[in-house]
Structure 1
């Protein structure tokens, strides 16, 4: 080949290489642009009004809040995506006298970067998420019964090796409570103001002079297929307790419109060097707890009932269920054997079958309780009604019961996405006031 031909060939190769590099750069730029511009935005607007009515001349409480969140999600680029979510709650000047501080604290607003994470995902195979995020596990969850949920700062991973089977792992370093605007190394056993955190609604038994929490390490697995719904978890709530939890439920699909189900759960905890040692245990009053030297808790429960379908526009799907839980008394243990739950105590968002809207055995200490609950969709699923009765027999506080009613309306047409919900619970026993009525009215619009 002559020099002229070699030069011509080299020029052509260089030109093609240049075109290839330019095309690759353009493609990368387009991919990066699509990663952002092809993303989605969703959110929620929520208005909440609380009323607490007490007996025996106690001061009644009320509170209002308007807020919600907006989340921006990028598209996936080689499996990577990102999410940023802003959360806010505002009293609009309505809470000037005797506010219910569990709704949004004593301030006039809460503003938080509730979610801000980077995620890698191969759908139905693996998910790894790092940053501020919502977590949904039995003993660490969003507790979303106020205006903004609890969120967590850390790493969460999920692997799905087989259809219906998932394996989980997470390390949480800090969290943001429902009444906080930032992330802190505390939990619901710390007092309001620890490290500046305006946290309300918990148990508040750890002195502010104690050390900060090191968060949570957890591993779990779940399986859901062929009518089986089961999970098992290990949690290390550093400085508080180690927990092993499991539950399983089987639903018999009969094809007749009536499907019976049966389930069970167990919870075991231990920790000799807990920050709760020599402190009052979880409970709504000091009498509910005992000073102890180490966490030692055993709890179990069973549930049974039927899922059914009324088969008409008037009467749709529903459920009837009865459940039982017991927390065994352990003399000398923290709380006499009470369950230690750093991220649900006082929130009543634990996984026990018999927990009511405002409290359960986690809040009231060792003992046993039973609960019956009816859930019913009707009028073409435009309405959802729930009613429940729970009764508790406690180791130190004696007898208590809760009566619950819940009605939600889901408008159709151009108002689709809106829900109007009214929840009422009347609690008796284990209260210095004799009774306690809690009414929550919530309007929510999802977009």
Structure 2
């Protein structure tokens, strides 16, 4: 009776409008989902879990693959994968999991904004000696991207097709002839007390970068329902003999040692039904370094799924390189939480890609009654300026219609 079976059915339609004959417009449709099976605990806390992932274009790709958005599920007509297969031991104060699994940490996560999430092959540890205090340990050997059907020793800096991996959506720079990646080792800790939250992480992206990341936030909770909050974050990366320099694979035109420094601040207000915030991030340029000081993020670059406050739906400073950005964001639950509305505007000033801005609107409808579990979501973002997504500073429009049913 304690075993669990659940999952999701997903139907997504994505369209990319580039506004220039030099790049054909792209779209993609897929139907699929996720089925999770978890056993009841036995032998004092042991358990098993498996997840089956599937996505199918239903023959909608057509003959001209240049007009297909490959980031939804790749260019293959179907993906069928055993996305998770793990054994775990769990008690109130400890969780140990080994195998293929979803891992969510600030710079290594599921990036679940496509048909299928990214998953990782390795070990995960979460120790909670006292309430709200966590110590984490992670060792990843391989990963499965959002468009892959198997696990590979690569990351988002490798080219599509590396070792047969149909990897899409990254920022390719490592040639397909070069050795495999060696995975990642990470340690972290988090603590929450009242309205205060803090976390700190160390990542060793083997041969790519060493990273320290920390963030802290505080929310002043009031009886009126209007609660101001503030947050700050910091990133520091370093590594002399790295994969980019070893393989003569410059990032954004610059090579050398890994040397990156970034920080951010965020202020805002929670109010009944929603919140409003303003955020700022900056990455300092470093002469003689990879990407002129860019943040090296092997599992989020190109996915725009990093924890920086100003990252938009399609890009952020991790993709654009050194510079600064600010972002205004508002969220509101309407009609008794049946509709969730999000809107944002971000402005980027970068050294390598000039200036640009992103305008974002996100509306989700949650039906009630017999349709509980269904969500209908439309996300649209308009990017202006910058050379990252389209040449000649043209606008880029990305629309994502996402239907999801959770059971």
5 Å matches for 1:100-179?
Answer: 100-123=69-92, 125-179=93-147
Matched, 1:237 2:205: yes
Name the CA distance, whole Å, in 1 between partners of 2:125 and 2:337: 35
Aligned mate of 2:50, from 84, 105, 116: 84
Instruction: Decide which structure has greater helix share.
Output: 1
Distance in 1, matches of 2:52 and 2:353, equals: 42
Deviation track 1:163-182 (CA, whole Å, cap 9, x = no partner) reads 11100001000000000000
C-alpha offsets along residues 40-95 of structure 1, whole Å, 9 cap, x if unaligned?
10010000000000122231000001111101110011100110110001000011
The CA deviation at 1:383 is 0.2
Query: Is 2:316 aligned against 1:360?
Result: yes
Q: In the aligned structure 2, how far is the partner of 1:201 from the partner of 1:332?
A: 27
CA distance in 2, matches of 1:396, 1:99: 28
Matches within 5 A, 1:38-437: 38-57=2-21, 58-77=23-42, 78-96=44-62, 97=64, 98-123=67-92, 125-277=93-245, 278-281=248-251, 289-309=252-272, 317-431=273-387, 432=391, 434-437=394-397
Match of 1:440 among 390, 400, 403: 400
Q: Distance in 2 between matches of 1:67 and 1:443?
A: 11
> What is the CA–CA distance in structure 1 between the aligned matches of 2:2 and 2:258, rounded to whole Å?
50
Deviations 1:308-355 (A, max 9, x none): 11xxxxxxx100000000000001100000000000000000000000
SS for the counterpart of 2:271 is strand
Query: Partner of 2:163: helix, strand, or coil?
Result: helix
SS at match of 1:195: helix
The Cα shift of 1:225 comes to 2.2
Q: Secondary structure at the match of 1:299?
A: strand
Alpha-carbon RMSD across the aligned residues, in angstroms, is 0.9
Deviations 1:374-396 (A, max 9, x none): 00001000000000000000012
Q: Counterpart of 1:101 in 2: which secondary structure? A: coil
Deviation, 1:270, is 0.5
The higher radius of gyration belongs to: 1
Equivalent-residue separation in structure 2 for 1:444 and 1:271 (angstroms): 42
Three-state SS of the structure 1 residue aligned to 2:120 is: strand
Q: Distance in 2 between matches of 1:367 and 1:52?
A: 26
Cross-structure match for 1:4: none
CA–CA distance in 2 between the matches of 1:292 and 1:80? 47
Give 3-state SS (helix, strand or coil) of 1:276's partner.
Answer: helix
Shift in Å, 1:398:
1.2
In structure 1, list runs of 5 or more residues that go unmatched: 1-36, 282-288, 310-316
Matched residues in 1 for 2:136 and 2:60: separation?
43
Deviation for aligned residue 1:114? 0.5
Aligned to 1:18: none
CA distance in 1, matches of 2:250, 2:347: 24
Paired residues, number: 396
TM-score (norm 1): 0.88
* CA apart distance, 1:38: 4.3
CA distance, structure 2, for counterparts of residue 56 and residue 107 of structure 1: 26
Separation in 2, partners of 1:405, 1:381: 17
- 3-state SS of the aligned residue for 2:333? strand
TM-score normalised to structure 2 length: 0.96
How far is the alpha carbon of 1:229 from its aligned partner? 1.5
Following the alignment from structure 2 to structure 1, what is the Cα–Cα distance between the partners of residues 230 and 52?
Answer: 40
Deviation, 1:279, is: 2.2
Secondary structure at the aligned position of 1:106 is classed as coil
